[in-house]
Amino acid sequence: MKVGILTSGGDCPGINATIRGVCKAAVNHYGMEVYGIRNGFRGLLDDDIVRLDNNSLTGLLNLGGTILGTSRVKPFKRRGSGAFSEDKPAILLQTIKDHQLDCIVCIGGNGTQKTAARLAEMGVNVVGIPKTIDNDVWGTDVSFGFDSAVSIATDAIDRLHSTASSHQRVMVIEVMGHKAGWIALYSGMAGGGDIILLPEIPYDMHRIGDAIIDRLKRGKPYSIVVVAEGIQTLGGKKAAQYIAEEIEYETGFETRETVLGYIQRGGAPTAYDRNLATRMGGHAVDLIAQGRFGKMVALRGDSIDSVALSEVAGKLKLVTEEHDLVVQGRHMGICFG
Ligand code: F6P
């Protein structure tokens, strides 16, 4: 059995641990051959494929990024005319055939799982593994990378507290998450944010201003505001810049902004992410060995399971008002907008 493996979309901590998990289970336990496809789906278009063996895996468990490289190439994206550029799907199929790959493991976020579902429709044996710091892949409770990003963002919020209180300022910190507020919610709550703004919950600038002034009246002349990058703003402004300007206007408080950016995606995965990545990688190989294709590995509660790629494709997992961290946050007086 020849297994191809690729990593596609934005990188995150834990991808290399997953590659290691897939390879070790495939090679050592099942006696399969594993081939690394470089730079996501671009590697299938460029015929850029290398054999992976135990020697390729040294030091991968805690290494950030992806040793295979990644790209945001979308082979099924049509041109304006409706035609595929250069008939990319046909090139993909040919490369898979040329290398006699029996199946492809696609490690990636929503876009990757959508492409994986299209490949499955075309008869390719595919298994998806969810990967994103954003935690917005539908069908899995958690994706690896999320815990690492939350831990980095929480550390940053902790550090902003001391400078905010020393200078009696409002500190606005923008975290990633694309259209979802998971990183903002989890890091904001863990970091003791006073105001947490998520794309899923509409906000009102007057209420935010009142919350900051209320804190001053309670003897707290500083505030920490955690904003997700995906919140609505006016004038095409970035989240942190817009909210910081509006807070100064509403309250007259000196306000500073911090955009955490790609630091959230870099470096070593947390222990939780290493283990989740290892479990998901191993489960993907079990599915392959059982001939159960067209599926994405998923965490459900405490167990690793799988879900049909056709069910995952095109959906987003967003924060809801009913999420217990939102409910508990509201009980604690945190302003969600
Ligand atoms: O999907 C992960 C993510 O880091 C998002 O949080 C962010 O919006 C996006 O990728 C940034 O993408 P790029 O790497 O293309 O700048």
Residue of 73, 107, 178, 318 with the most ligand 1 atoms within 8 Å of its CB, for mutation: 178
Query: 130 with 304: CB under 8 angstroms?
Result: no
Domain shared by 121 and 7, yes or no: yes
What's the 310 CA to ligand 1 centre distance in angstroms? 24
Residue 330 is assigned to a structural domain of this protein: no
In a domain, 186, yes or no: yes
- Closest to 167 measured CA to CA, from 236, 65, 249, 253: 253
pLDDT score for 168: 96
Instruction: Give the position, in ligand 1's atom list, of the atom nearest the Cα of 176.
Output: 6
Helical (H) or strand (E) element with 15: helix 15-23
The reply to whether 280 falls in a domain is yes
Q: Is residue 295 part of a domain?
A: yes
- As for how many domains the chain has, the answer is 2
pLDDT computed for residue 266 by the predictor: 97
* 159 among annotated binding-site residues: no
**To test ligand 1's pocket by mutation, which of 176, 179, 185, 265 has the most ligand atoms within 8 angstroms of CB?**
176
- Ligand 1 atom closest to the CA of 183, numbered from 1: 6
Mean pLDDT of 99-119: 97
Q: Check whether 80 has a pLDDT greater than 80.
A: no
Q: Indicate whether 249 belongs to any domain.
A: yes
Reported as a pLDDT band with limits 50, 70 and 90, residue 54 is: confident
**In sequence order, what are the residues at sequence separation of 6 or more whose Cβ sits closer than 8 angstroms to the Cβ of residue 9?**
40, 70, 72, 108, 109, 111, 112, 131, 132
Q: What pLDDT does residue 78 have?
A: 74
Together in a domain, 228 and 132: no
Is it the case that residue 84 has pLDDT exceeding 60?
Answer: no
To the question of whether residue 40 is assigned a binding role by annotation, the answer is no
Using the mean position of ligand 1's atoms as its centre, give its distance from the Cα of residue 157 in Å: 20
**Residue 70: inside a domain:** yes
Ligand 1 atom, smallest distance to 265 CA: 4
Structural domain span for residue 198? 148-265
Let me know whether 136 and 30 are in one domain. Answer: yes
Nearest CA to ligand 1 atom 5: 178
* Mean pLDDT score across all residues of the chain: 96
Looking at the structure, do residues 83 and 205 belong to the same domain, yes or no?
no
pLDDT value at residue 106: 98
pLDDT level of residue 83 (50, 70, 90 thresholds): low
CATH code: domain of residue 169? 3.40.50.460
β-bridge mates for residue 37, sequence order? 6, 49
Active-site hit among 48, 53, 98, 134: 134
Together in a domain, 81 and 160? no
Summarize the confidence of residues 82-108 as an average pLDDT: 89
**56 confidence band (pLDDT: 50, 70, 90):** confident
Average pLDDT (238-265) is 97
Cα(295) to ligand 1 centroid in Å equals 24
Ligand 1: centre distance to CA 107 (Å): 15
Residues 208 and 298 in one domain: no
Reading the block at residue 211, the tokens are 């919350």
Residue 51, marked binder? no
Asked whether residue 37 falls in the same domain as residue 119, the answer is yes
Distance CA 287, CA 308 (A): 12
Nearest CA to ligand 1 atom 16: 10
Q: What pLDDT does 142 receive?
A: 98
The yes-or-no answer on residue 134 being catalytic is yes
Q: Could you report the per-residue pLDDT of 190-242, keeping only the tens digit for each?
A: 999 999 999 999 999 999 999 999 999 999 999 999 999 999 999 999 999 99
Non-local (6+) Cβ contacts of 101 within 8 A are 2, 3, 4, 35
- Verify that 18 and 141 share a domain, yes or no: yes
Helix (H) / strand (E) containing 161: helix 146-167
* In a shared domain, residues 299 and 224: no
Q: Which residues contact ligand 1 via a Cβ below 6 A?
A: 10, 109, 132-134, 176-178, 229, 265
- How many Å apart are CA 20 and CA 282, to the nearest integer? 9
User: What number is the average pLDDT over the span 239-257?
Assistant: 97
Domain check: are 170 and 104 in the same one? no
Q: Are residues 124 and 159 in the same domain?
A: no
Structure tokens at 239: 């989240």
* CA distances to 176, 237, 244, 317, 329 from 258, in Å: 12, 14, 10, 26, 23
Select the more confidently predicted residue: 77 or 217. 217
Same domain (yes/no): 112, 131: yes
- Let me know if residue 15 belongs to a domain: yes
In angstroms, rounded to a whole number, what is the distance separating the alpha carbons of residues 133 and 273? 10
CA atoms 313, 272, 69, 283: torsion sign: negative
Task: Tell me what pLDDT residue 77 has.
Answer: 84
Count of CB atoms situated within 10 Å of the CB of 147? 23
Distance 10 CA to ligand 1 centre (A): 6
| 222 annotated binding-site participant | no
Q: Are 246 and 124 in contact (CB under 8 A)?
A: no
Residue-level pLDDT at 85: 59
Helical (H) or strand (E) element with 332: none
328 domain residue, yes or no: no
Is the pLDDT assigned to residue 250 strictly greater than 90?
Answer: yes
Per-residue pLDDT tens for 34-53? 999 999 999 999 999 999 99
What is the rounded distance in angstroms from the CA atom of residue 186 to the CA atom of residue 323?
Answer: 11
Mean pLDDT of 145-163: 98
State the CATH number of the domain containing residue 109: 3.40.50.450
Backbone angles phi, psi at 42, to 5 degrees: -60, -35
Mean pLDDT, to the nearest integer, of 82-101?
86
Task: Give residue 82's pLDDT.
Answer: 60
pLDDT tens-digit profile of 264-311?
999 999 999 999 999 999 999 999 999 999 999 999 999 999 999 999
What tens digit of pLDDT does each residue of 130-153 get? 999 999 999 999 999 999 999 999
